[in-house]
Amino acid sequence: MRFRLRSDSERFTSKLAARELLYLQQMTTQLVTRATDNSAREQVHRIGTRVLVVDDEPAVSKLLSTMLAPPTFCCAVAASGEEALLALQREPFDAVISDLQMPGISGLDLLSEVRRQHPHVAFLVATGLDDVRVGIQAMKLGGDDYLVKPFQEDVVIVSLQRALEKKRLEREVENYRRHLEEMVAERTCELRVALQQIERSYEDTLEALGAAIDLRDSETAGHSRRVCRYSVEIARMMGVSGGPLRSLIMGAYLHDIGKLGVPDGILLKSGPLSLDEWKLMKRHVQTGYDLVKGIPFLAEAVEIILTHHERYDGSGYPQGLRGEQIPLGARIFAVADTFDAMTSDRPYRRALPFETARDTIRRESGRLFDPHVADVFLNIPAEVWLIIARHQRQIGTFSSGLGEVLGAGPVFT
């Protein structure tokens, strides 16, 4: 290609562009140099680095082929962008050196196609001084380096080495990224399995505590399990889910844990309790609260353990809370607890009919029970409670997972 004579203004513009291009080259060199060691340089000089020279002027192609001679390099030539794409399809190349101004597919178009089809091939653009702005554009579009005509052998080799090293580093980064993604996926899977194991151990602990409570008072065996399931049914009908539902499940399951500290003579007494005995019995809510509050994974249960004997009109204990001062979970539990207590055998009486229990809750709505909770409970068909009670009694032991007992899936999620 011939260079035309230029005016002073054109020369000045060209110099500015050349300075911009030089600055870009210097920054690229610094980036590569930081990540390059002696072994990397030896790899770049490996025998047989395949280079495809693309130029419509045979003299230019021959010159570059001479500069990039074996054994370090192995050159092939293409007279057009179309020939270059065919050559790249036939055999692998490590780098392409292409002129920008060619008939047919231009150097920029070829760059775009090579980037799309062969992203790991280094691409250098060859430009004259009056094409320097186009060379900068090529770099912005994905070119790895540039060569300015007339060519100097040492500059050509250094630029090619720089471009090859840049591509090598890009491959290493991509491989590292893929490996990192695989490691993250693997660790995530391991953490998920570990979390499931922890959740299972938490459920096992919760079940064991519930079993200990029921074994202490064999006359009410299964009460914790049933009242928990009743509470869940009411809560779900009220739209309770997530953390509040989990807290309710745990609290309902462990509500009587404080009775582990009540003497057998009081807990198992078949007759009425004396005033002093009743005072000791009522302490079980505070005892249960003190037992559980320091255990992190059971902390959500403490609210219901402490307040499950509060009543809507303020007549309950231990704090005499009333109305919405009582946590919603405890208000739900109060209905479920009364229902199970009335429909289960006790030392002093046989189980009452379900309808009798429902009538009592209807009558005490607004006094002992939250009216809204009572209405939700009463709107659930009686057959549902019968099915739940029958199913819980059939389970009979704590060998089944807590999630299965509740029909609610994992508790600790």
- Whole-number pLDDT of residue 410: 46
Query: When comparing pLDDT for 153 and 12, which is higher?
Result: 153
Write out 30-60 in H/E/C secondary structure.
Answer: HHHHHCCCHHHHHHHCCCCEEEEEECCCHHH
Alpha helices in 97-241 (DSSP H): 107-117, 132-140, 153-216, 223-237
Q: Look at residue 96 and give its three-state secondary structure.
A: strand
Spatial contact of 227 and 340, defined as CB atoms under 8 Å apart: yes
- Whole-number pLDDT of residue 42: 46
- Whole-number pLDDT of residue 324: 94
Element (H, E) at 145: strand 145-148
Q: Work out the average pLDDT over 18-41.
A: 48
By mean pLDDT, which of 25-39, 136-150, 159-173, 249-263 is the weakest?
A: 25-39
pLDDT of 6 above 50: no
By mean pLDDT, which of 72-81, 240-249, 321-330, 400-409 is the weakest?
A: 400-409
How far lies 132's CA from each of 13, 18, 103, in Å?
10, 6, 19
Query: When comparing pLDDT for 398 and 178, which is higher?
Result: 178
pLDDT of 38 above 50: no
How far lies 292's CA from each of 213, 214, 363, in Å?
14, 17, 34
190 — pLDDT class (breaks 50, 70, 90)? confident
What does the alpha-carbon distance between residue 74 and residue 68 come to, in Å, rounded to a whole number? 7
Q: Work out the average pLDDT over 132-144.
A: 80
pLDDT of 39 above 50: no
- Sorted by where each begins, the domain ranges of the chain are 8-177, 198-406
Query: Which of 214, 240, 228, 257 has its CA nearest to residue 392?
Result: 228
- Architecture (CATH level 2) of domain 8-177: 3-Layer(aba) Sandwich (3.40)
- Whole-number pLDDT of residue 363: 96
Spatial contact of 272 and 242, defined as CB atoms under 8 Å apart: no
Q: In what order do the strands lie in the sheet with 122-127?
A: 73-78, 49-54, 95-99, 122-127, 145-148
pLDDT of 96 above 80: yes
- Whole-number pLDDT of residue 41: 43
Query: When comparing pLDDT for 40 and 207, which is higher?
Result: 207
Answer CATH for 198-406 from 3.40.50.2300, 2.40.110.10, 2.160.10.10, 1.10.3210.10: 1.10.3210.10
Q: In the chain, pLDDT over 70 holds for what percent of residues?
A: 80
How far lies 143's CA from each of 25, 40, 51, in Å?
12, 21, 15
Per residue in 214-271, pLDDT (tens digit) is 666 655 567 888 899 999 999 999 999 988 998 899 899 889 888 888 888 888 787 7
Query: When comparing pLDDT for 331 and 38, which is higher?
Result: 331
pTM: 0.54
- Whole-number pLDDT of residue 400: 45
134 — pLDDT class (breaks 50, 70, 90)? confident
- Whole-number pLDDT of residue 342: 92
Q: Which of 86-95, 138-147, 202-211, 220-229 has the highest average model confidence (pLDDT)? A: 86-95
By mean pLDDT, which of 27-36, 181-190, 326-335 is the weakest?
A: 27-36
